[in-house]
Amino acid sequence: MRLFVGLGNPGSGYSGNRHNIGFMAVDRIAARQGFSPWRSRFQGQSAEGELGGEKVLLLKPTTYMNDSGRSVGEAARFYKIELSDIVVFHDELDLAPAKIRVKAGGGNAGHNGLRSISALIGNDYVRVRIGIGHPGNKDIVHAYVLNDFAKSEHGWVTALVDAIADNAPLLAKSDEASFQNKVHLALDAAGFSAPKRAGERSED
């Protein structure tokens, strides 16, 4: 079994926040890939299904972002899931909007959800970094991530989580490169290509 974790904060007041795009991604996977109804388990909300012939548990921790590791650890221990079979979807300030990067391990870049998970279960899980852009001033980052996406951003957000959901079977089969490529191709086709930053390569 694989464990797909979306990071965010629980409650309707946070549901549209940039910090909650991980929740949005796994919600869309559940809806478009025929997963079971969500139910309360593992200090979170979970849903079960199959992607690419692999059994997958979707998890949204309801511990608040800073304590996400408690929920992830509980689910991973219950099903005896290895770190390499855990995929975490989270917002990424250092990527342009409508871009993703997939990698195993690495730093947490100040992300409290990742920090909590790494502290409790280890660091060598797969991360799907979902670009939300940077406000340009580190002093307003907290307010930026805890504010809702602007109306002008709704188009690319919807296209991105749709593309993530549609191509999630590739991720379940550990074909991270194809997953990342197909998501970006879908965004390009929808007219939401992310602008490249100076010196940035097409693919990492």
For the segment 167-182, what is each residue's pLDDT rounded down to a tens digit?
Answer: 999 999 999 999 999 9
Q: What is the mean pLDDT of residues 11-16?
A: 96
Buried residues in 40-63 as b, exposed as e (16+ CB within 10 A):
ebbbbbbbbbebbeeebbbbbbbb
Catalytic residues: 19
pLDDT value, residue 170: 98
In a domain, 147, yes or no: yes
Beta strands in the chain (DSSP E): 2-6, 39-41, 44-51, 54-61, 86-92, 100-104, 126-131
Residue 73 identity: G
Q: Let me know if residue 31 belongs to a domain.
A: yes
Give the structural domain span for 161: 2-189
DSSP, collapsed to helix, strand or coil, labels residue 101 as strand
Structural domain includes residue 197: no
Q: Mutual orientation of helices 154-166 and 21-32 as an angle, nearest 10°?
A: 50
Q: Is residue 200 part of a domain?
A: no
Length of the chain (residues):
204
The CATH number given to whatever domain includes residue 142 is 3.40.50.1470
Share of the chain above pLDDT 70, in %: 95
Residue 58, domain member (yes or no): yes
Between 36-50, 81-95, 106-120, the lowest mean confidence (pLDDT) is in 106-120
* Predicted TM-score of the model (pTM): 0.93
Tokens of 86: 């855990």
What pLDDT does 82 receive?
96
181 is a domain residue: yes
Residue 194 lies inside a defined structural domain of this protein:
no
With respect to residue 195, please indicate whether it lies within any of the assigned structural domains. Answer: no
Q: How many domains does the chain have?
A: 1
Burial class (CB in 10 A: 0-12, 13-18, 19+), 37: exposed
